[in-house]
Structure 1
Amino acid sequence: MPVNIIGTAIVKGTEAIPYYQQIKTAAPYVVAAGAAKYWSRGATNTWERKLHGKVYLVTGASSQGMGTAVVLEMARLGAQLIILTRNVDEWATDWCNDLREKSQNDLIYMEKCDLSDLWQVRKFATGWLDNAPPRRLDGVVVMSGEMEPWGIPVVSPPTRRSSVDGLELQMATNYVGIFHLLDLLQPSFKAQPPDRDVRIIITTCWLQSMGEINVEDPLWQNAKYDSSLKFFASSKLQLSVCMLELQRRLLNEIKKMQKDGKEVKGTHVTVTLVQPGTMRSHSLRRVLSNGSVFLLIFLYCLLLYPLLFLLTKSGRRGAQSVLYALMTPELEEVNLQDEKVKYVSDCSIVKLARKEFEDEALQTKLYENTLRDINELEKKMASKRNKAKTTKKK
């Protein structure tokens, strides 16, 4: 077909080509749309390594978007996956079995752990650590997140949803639960042999640039709920800032062990922040539709989807940066130029922009205050559970 068209154009001229004028008119728009789509799809991960025998904890895997694309690739490469999920129900079981079948990997397991519930997080972490010798752990991949509709002023103001601990749901899921999990798992990270490359990968969002840091009230228990966007952005920002402190604490503990002449373990533990880009995810659909089925069908599906298709990523394309952080040799100890947390966007390491990422005193104080408030909240909720049990017995 292309040869015939070219031959006709050479011999008889372009006017002899059927629908030439229509093609000539539409071509610039088609090329522009193609260029926009090529740009928005982002970079592709070109690294691959064998994951046979490696063990990873994963959150946010059953999203049917980025999370599912990441775990499918990890499973295909032979990794053993322990997937943390809010509920282990019939749907989750079917999804897990489907993942095993697609990847030809039976070493995929699901554990109940609602990250918005501090008690469930501690229960899982305690169970994980209660093992001798220490369990193998090659990394943690955090892709879970909660994003509430932003609300339409006057017509539909944002409605605050709370976790079982009374925290704002986005703050509880995106920040407090993940922080608590990783802090409790520190002994597991440090117990890994020195030749094991342990990678802690945390997905974030470019909206963190719009967030605030509440050092004195890091769980935002006393903050006014006037904007769901502010709580979402701030939860992502605070988690990213605390990850810098977590990396420092792990490395300082290793150096202390070296000075004491003890066997050094965990020298390959690295923390990486990943910004996967704007995707056509459940969160985006929920925000644009404001939680309304009518707006989802009319606004998102009919009006905005063609534009979103051109300018945003699919879940599979968003997964590329996560897979890059998991597989690139740049994060191996022999190739690291410094001990700082790396920030990955579009399959390359870039610089963190906000000034908070350079303020070590702020990072330390935020981390310590978060620990303090979590411990106080856990004691409070434990007391409530004990009182409820006592009342039930009576």
Structure 2
Amino acid sequence: MPLNILGTALFEGTDKIPYFDAVVRAAPYVAATAAVKYWSRGPTNTWERKLHGKVYLVTGGTSGGMGTAVALEMARLGAQLIFLTRNIDEWSTEFVQDLRERTGNELLYMEQCDLGNLWEVRQFATRWLDNSPPRRLDGVLVMSGDMEPLGVPRFAPPVRKSSSDGLEMQIAVNFAGVFHLLDLLQPSFKAQPPDRDIRIIVTTCWTQVMGDVQVEDPLWQQQLYRSASKFCSSSKLQLGLTMMEYQRRLIADMQRVAEEKKNDRTGLNIKVVLVQPGTMRSNSLRRVLSNGSVLLLVVLYCVLLYPFLWLFTRSGNRGAQSVLYALNTPEFEEVNLKTTATKYVADCSVVKFARKEFEDAELQRKLYDNTRRDILALEKRMALKRNAKKPAKDKKEAEAKAKAKAKAKATPSSSK
């Protein structure tokens, strides 16, 4: 076909080619659109390594977007994945089974761990650590997140959604739950052999540049809820700052133990990486643009805005490229490290942090300590509430059993 068109243009002139003028007029616009789309889709990860035998904990892997794309590729490369999900139900079970069939990898499992519930996080971490010898763990990929509708001032103001612990939901899921999980899993990372390359990959969002840091109230328990976006961006910012301190503490603890035991462990085999995957057409973006309304989702997102979103934002698969880069690149192996600081990845390359707080080690230390302090205090308060409810629950169960027993005695037995 192209040769016929070219021959006609050379020997008979362009007038003989149907719609030639229309094609010429449209060509610049098509080329410009293609160029913008090529730019907005972001780079492609070019690194790949075998993951056979490696074990990873994954959050956000069942989202159907970026997390699922990453999990699919990791399963294809042979990794053993443990998905942490809010609920284990028929849908999630079928999801894992489908992933096994698509990749031929049977080492895909699921554990219940709601990041919005600090007690469930502790229960999972306790189960994971309660094993001798220590279980193998090659890394954690945190790709979960919550972004609440922004609301419309005067018409539909933002509604504060709370977790089971009473925290604002975005602070609970994006910050407190992730921090608590990784903080509790420190012994598991430290117990791994020194030659094992361990990567803790935490996804963040560019909106963190608009966040605030509450050093004395890191869980935002005393802050008024005026803007959903402020809580979301601040949760991402505070998580990133605490991860900087988390990396330093892991290295310092490993080196202190090495001095005591007189070995050469440096702790640099454990690397914390923050990944900014870019703006994607994700569930969170749909929820924000539609303000939680099905009607707005159909009209505004699917009809009016989708052409522009397709052009300027990424799919989940394209957003996954930076996460896969952080997982596979040899730059983060101990022999290739140039600095010990937490790395920040965007567009499949290491970049600098935009906020000055990422250079303030003292602020990060205080934020880490205060977050751990407030989470422990909150856990104690919630435990007291559960214990207070337990006698009433036991009493109701005992009364129900007594009634059932009395009813059984009152019922005449059938004659033989």
Q: Do the two structures share a fold, i.e. TM-score over 0.5? A: yes
Q: 1:175 is matched with which residue?
A: 175
Is 1:301 aligned to 2:302, yes or no?
yes
Alpha-carbon separation, structure 2, partners of 1:265 and 1:108: 32
Q: 1:252 is matched with which residue?
A: 252
How far does residue 17 in structure 1 lie from its aligned partner after superposition? 1.2
Q: 2:82 is matched with which residue?
A: 82
Alpha-carbon separation, structure 1, partners of 2:260 and 2:93: 47
Q: 1:367 is matched with which residue?
A: 368
State the secondary structure of the residue aligned to 2:153. Answer: coil
Task: Tell me the amino acid that sits aligned with residue 371 of structure 1.
Answer: R
Alignment gaps of 5+ in structure 2:
396-416
Between 1:26-35 and 1:240-249, the stretch displaced more is: 26-35
How far does residue 77 in structure 1 lie from its aligned partner after superposition? 0.4
Given that 1:191 and 1:265 are in contact with CA atoms closer than 8 Å, whether structure 2 keeps it comes out as: no
Q: 1:37 is matched with which residue?
A: 37
Q: 1:28 is matched with which residue?
A: 28
TM-score by length of 1: 0.99
Per-residue Cα deviation, 1:50-103 (whole angstroms, up to 9, x for no partner): 000000000000010100000000000000001000000000000010011001
Alignment of 1:115-134 (within 5 A): 115-134=115-134
How far does residue 215 in structure 1 lie from its aligned partner after superposition? 0.4
Per-residue Cα deviation, 1:356-387 (whole angstroms, up to 9, x for no partner): 00000000000000000000000000000000
How far does residue 121 in structure 1 lie from its aligned partner after superposition? 0.1
How far does residue 15 in structure 1 lie from its aligned partner after superposition? 2.1
State the secondary structure of the residue aligned to 1:200. Answer: strand
Given that 2:66 and 2:317 are in contact with CA atoms closer than 8 Å, whether structure 1 keeps it comes out as: yes
Alpha-carbon separation, structure 1, partners of 2:393 and 2:2: 79
Given that 2:255 and 2:266 are in contact with CA atoms closer than 8 Å, whether structure 1 keeps it comes out as: no
Alpha-carbon separation, structure 2, partners of 1:42 and 1:90: 35
Given that 2:61 and 2:67 are in contact with CA atoms closer than 8 Å, whether structure 1 keeps it comes out as: yes
Task: Find the structure with the greater CA-based Rg.
Answer: 2
How far does residue 14 in structure 1 lie from its aligned partner after superposition? 1.9
Given that 1:241 and 1:356 are in contact with CA atoms closer than 8 Å, whether structure 2 keeps it comes out as: yes
Q: What percent identity do the matched residue pairs reach? A: 67
Alignment of 1:104-115 (within 5 A): 104-115=104-115
State the secondary structure of the residue aligned to 1:116. Answer: coil
Task: Tell me the amino acid that sits aligned with residue 217 of structure 2.
Answer: D
Alpha-carbon separation, structure 1, partners of 2:68 and 2:237: 24
Is 1:71 aligned to 2:71, yes or no?
yes
Given that 1:61 and 1:83 are in contact with CA atoms closer than 8 Å, whether structure 2 keeps it comes out as: yes
Q: 1:211 is matched with which residue?
A: 211
How far does residue 262 in structure 1 lie from its aligned partner after superposition? 4.4
Alpha-carbon separation, structure 2, partners of 1:2 and 1:226: 60
Alignment of 1:1-394 (within 5 A): 1-263=1-263, 264=265, 266-394=267-395
State the secondary structure of the residue aligned to 2:354. Answer: coil
Alpha-carbon separation, structure 2, partners of 1:302 and 1:153: 24
How far does residue 28 in structure 1 lie from its aligned partner after superposition? 1.1
TM-score by length of 2: 0.94
Given that 1:193 and 1:266 are in contact with CA atoms closer than 8 Å, whether structure 2 keeps it comes out as: no
Given that 1:45 and 1:323 are in contact with CA atoms closer than 8 Å, whether structure 2 keeps it comes out as: yes
Task: Tell me the amino acid that sits aligned with residue 66 of structure 1.
Answer: M
Q: For the structure 1 residues 365 and 58, does the alpha-carbon distance in structure 2 shift closer, same or farther, using more than 3 Å as the test?
A: same
Given that 2:268 and 2:340 are in contact with CA atoms closer than 8 Å, whether structure 1 keeps it comes out as: no
Given that 2:60 and 2:143 are in contact with CA atoms closer than 8 Å, whether structure 1 keeps it comes out as: yes
Q: For the structure 1 residues 266 and 337, does the alpha-carbon distance in structure 2 shift closer, same or farther, using more than 3 Å as the test?
A: closer
Alpha-carbon separation, structure 2, partners of 1:207 and 1:374: 24
Alpha-carbon separation, structure 1, partners of 2:8 and 2:304: 40
How far does residue 4 in structure 1 lie from its aligned partner after superposition? 1.1
Task: Tell me the amino acid that sits aligned with residue 204 of structure 1.
Answer: T
Alpha-carbon separation, structure 2, partners of 1:262 and 1:307: 60
Task: Tell me the amino acid that sits aligned with residue 124 of structure 2.
Answer: F
Task: Tell me the amino acid that sits aligned with residue 76 of structure 1.
Answer: R
Q: For the structure 1 residues 336 and 169, does the alpha-carbon distance in structure 2 shift closer, same or farther, using more than 3 Å as the test?
A: same
Alpha-carbon separation, structure 1, partners of 2:104 and 2:220: 44
Q: For the structure 1 residues 262 and 188, does the alpha-carbon distance in structure 2 shift closer, same or farther, using more than 3 Å as the test?
A: farther
Task: Tell me the amino acid that sits aligned with residue 362 of structure 2.
Answer: A
Per-residue Cα deviation, 1:268-289 (whole angstroms, up to 9, x for no partner): 0000000000000000011000
Alpha-carbon separation, structure 1, partners of 2:262 and 2:247: 20
User: Aligned pairs, how many?
Assistant: 394
Alpha-carbon separation, structure 1, partners of 2:268 and 2:336: 13
Given that 1:40 and 1:312 are in contact with CA atoms closer than 8 Å, whether structure 2 keeps it comes out as: yes
Alpha-carbon separation, structure 2, partners of 1:208 and 1:306: 26
How far does residue 265 in structure 1 lie from its aligned partner after superposition? 7.5
Alpha-carbon separation, structure 2, partners of 1:4 and 1:60: 51
Q: Which runs of structure 1 show a deviation greater than 6 angstroms over 4 or more consecutive aligned residues? A: none
State the secondary structure of the residue aligned to 1:272. Answer: strand
Per-residue Cα deviation, 1:322-351 (whole angstroms, up to 9, x for no partner): 000000000000000010111000100111
How far does residue 258 in structure 1 lie from its aligned partner after superposition? 2.2
Alpha-carbon separation, structure 1, partners of 2:224 and 2:48: 46
State the secondary structure of the residue aligned to 2:380. Answer: helix
How far does residue 12 in structure 1 lie from its aligned partner after superposition? 1.9
Given that 1:193 and 1:265 are in contact with CA atoms closer than 8 Å, whether structure 2 keeps it comes out as: no
Per-residue Cα deviation, 1:89-146 (whole angstroms, up to 9, x for no partner): 0000000100110010000000000000000000000110011111100000000000
Alpha-carbon separation, structure 1, partners of 2:268 and 2:349: 23
State the secondary structure of the residue aligned to 2:6. Answer: helix
